[in-house]
Amino acid sequence: MAGKNDQKEIRYMIVLEDVCKAFGNTVAVDQVSLVIPDRARVAILGPSGSGKTTLLRLVAGLEMPDKGTISMGGHAVSGSDVFVPPSERRIGFVFQSGALWPHMTVAENILFAFNALPEGEQQRRLDLLLDRMAIPNLRDRYPDQISGGEARRVALARALAPRPEILLLDEPLTNLDHALREELLVLIAESAREEGSIMLYVTHDEHEAAIVADSTIRFKAGRVLE
């Protein structure tokens, strides 16, 4: 791979080599090899059941591969003799459901993800993220007191809160109307760019992929097509 002088450039590159994951007889991810460069914003496109969510969960460390290795920033995180837990992978995850903790306010939901940062910085970052998501007025509301679109903004802020190197989004705009989706797509793309993180954005929508990402990986039946 790269020599010493290239270390900085490859710092947060994600590399998958021959990664396989099956559930019983169902092969969800089949011999996938990928190199995702630092700061890349990648859309992962494919039909339902093609293995997109499983791929994201493997990267996050929420699933263990049956075979193959995953490395981040030059270090193996999943492999035959290594497994780095999700909490140590510097990832932010926006799930398909976008679920927020119902018993916590918006601010508490976002702050919950911060445990690694000092208190003063937590508050500054909370303010910054609330501003960036245009929801400073929602700070003390509970999830059942905000709209679906607002909840997606909170979920995005929560994922970005601990300054992840890798932002993983699994069909984050499902069940939103067209105008709101367009608005949030731009917000997601800008946020990933400003944070300088790698973004993996799972969708089955070509239009979303074109707006949010600068490259595309196509999945079919657990395999990468191109």
Residues that bind Mg ion (CB under 5 A): 53
Is residue 48 close enough to count as binding ligand ADP by CB under 6 A? yes
If the CB atoms of residues 30 and 108 are measured against Mg ion, the closer one turns out to be 30
Q: Which residues of 143-175 are buried (b: 16+ CB within 10 A; e: fewer)?
A: beebeebbbbbbbbbbbbbbebbbbbbbbbbee
Q: Is residue 148 within the footprint of ligand ADP (CB under 6 A)?
A: no
Shortest gap between Cβ of 202 and Mg ion (angstroms)? Answer: 6
Binding-site size for ligand ADP (CB under 6 A) equals 11
- DSSP β-ladder status, 198-203 and 166-170: parallel
132 binds, among ligand ADP, Mg ion, none (CB under 5 to 8 A by kind): none
Nearer to ligand ADP, 63 or 165 (CB): 63
Shortest separation between residue 207's beta carbon and ligand ADP, angstroms: 18
Residue 26 as a binder of ligand ADP (CB under 6 A): the answer is yes
Our CB check for ligand ADP shows the closer of 16 and 133 to be: 16
* Rounded CA separation 110/95 (Å): 15
φ and ψ of 79, to 5 deg: 180, -175
Pairing relationship of beta strands 166-170 and 223-224 according to DSSP bridges: unpaired
CA–CA distance, 102 with 85 (Å, rounded to integer): 25
Q: State the amino acid at position 77 in one-letter form.
A: V
| Partner interacting with residue 158 (select from ligand ADP, Mg ion, none; CB below 5-8 Å by kind) | none
Locate tokens 């069940």: which residue? 175
Q: Based on CB atoms, which residue is closest to ligand ADP, 56 or 100?
A: 56
Under 8 Å CB-to-CB from 79, ≥6 apart: which residues? Answer: 65, 68, 69, 70
Radius of gyration of the chain from Cα atoms?
17
Site string for ligand ADP, 50-89 (x = CB under 6 A): xxxxx-----------------------------------
Q: Which stretch binds ligand ADP (CB under 6 A): 22-30, 65-73, 118-126, 146-154?
A: 22-30
Q: In the complex, which residues of this chain contact ligand ADP (CB under 6 A)?
A: 23, 26, 28, 46, 48-54
